[in-house]
A and B are shown apart, each in its own frame.
Chain A
């Protein structure tokens, strides 16, 4: 299979850099909150909310809201579907790199 065929094949939900970074964080964590994700992705609050909603709609993450003492905390965790999709995406990248030598 050629590199051009691979290039047309990524998971478009994860392929976007900000969403890929969110998925990378959640792939090694049980969960992460909004503040951590905002610092790690360097996105604005509004933009991060949009990207999280997109991932949630795809079924790749679950979002929970809770209170820690009097402080609200919004956390995201990767779903099993999200783990499969992230694993497939990494394999895609590795195959692409291998195909392009």
Chain B
């Protein structure tokens, strides 16, 4: 790898250097996972509604919390970097893929009589989503040269397989996967933050 590529990768990975995104995002993910799991475990749809509420309100709020924490900690110590927003084409493609997958899964579930995604289709969906998230995390670990994301990838894959083996069904199984990923993120984010604070202890308030 040449110096230009090394500098570019370090800059792209800078967002993750302090672990704040994992800490705050991990807490939100674990909360959503716990509510999803509870909605099935105690058969109370109120928890599912709360999970949806956390996803709709909690995720944007946690993103704001990450930016606030970075402004008050990271940017003062080691500087500020902002990243380009995804292109309109990329956003449109993602939305189309999500819509197509949603329609395919819903139609399949209805035609197979699996309205709760708790049969064979739900099992494949759980395994597919677990594999997809694990691959995305492993790719991030490789591209950013941040091995801690391999741990998160392993946790996601393992928890998805365990949920299938326990025949939890899709909703409760995804709850377990999000809890596991959330807790793993809290641990790796905490370690990353500790390392960052130690490495930059003399730099507080240096920013121009």
* Prevailing SS type, chain A contact patch: helix
Q: Known contacts being A39-B78, A39-B79, A68-B71, is A33 close to B208, with CB within 8 Å?
A: yes
Q: Give residues 1-56 of B contacting A (CB, 8 Å).
A: 3-4, 7-8, 10-12, 14
Given contacts A73-B80, A73-B207, A74-B208, contact A33 B11 (CB under 8 A): no
B81-89, B114-122, B158-166, B180-188: which one contacts chain A?
A: B81-89
Distance, CA A46 to CA B81, complexed state (A): 21
Q: Which residues of A contact B14 (CB under 8 A)?
A: 36
Chain B residues whose CB sits within 8 angstroms of the CB of A45 once the complex forms: 208
- Residues of A near any B CB (own CB < 8 A): 20-21, 24-25, 27-40, 45, 68-69, 71-75, 90
Contact of B140 with A by CB under 8 A: no
**Among B3, B8, B71, B75, contact of A28 (Cβ-Cβ < 8 Å):** B8
Chain B contact residue count (CB 8 A cutoff): 22
Contact of A20 among B4, B10, B76, B83 (CB under 8 A): B4
B207 partner residues in chain A, CB cutoff 8 A: 33-35, 71, 73
Majority SS at the chain B contact face: helix
Q: With A29-B83, A30-B82, A30-B83 known to touch, is A35 a contact of B206 (CB < 8 Å)? A: yes
A24 touching B208, Cβ below 8 Å: no
Chain A, Cβ-Cβ closest to B82: A30
List 29 A-B pairs, Cβ < 8 Å: A20-B4, A21-B7, A24-B7, A24-B8, A24-B11, A25-B11, A27-B8, A28-B12, A28-B83, A29-B82, A29-B84, A30-B82, A31-B81, A32-B79, A32-B80, A33-B80, A33-B208, A34-B208, A35-B78, A35-B80, A36-B81, A39-B78, A39-B79, A40-B7, A40-B11, A71-B207, A72-B208, A75-B80, A90-B4
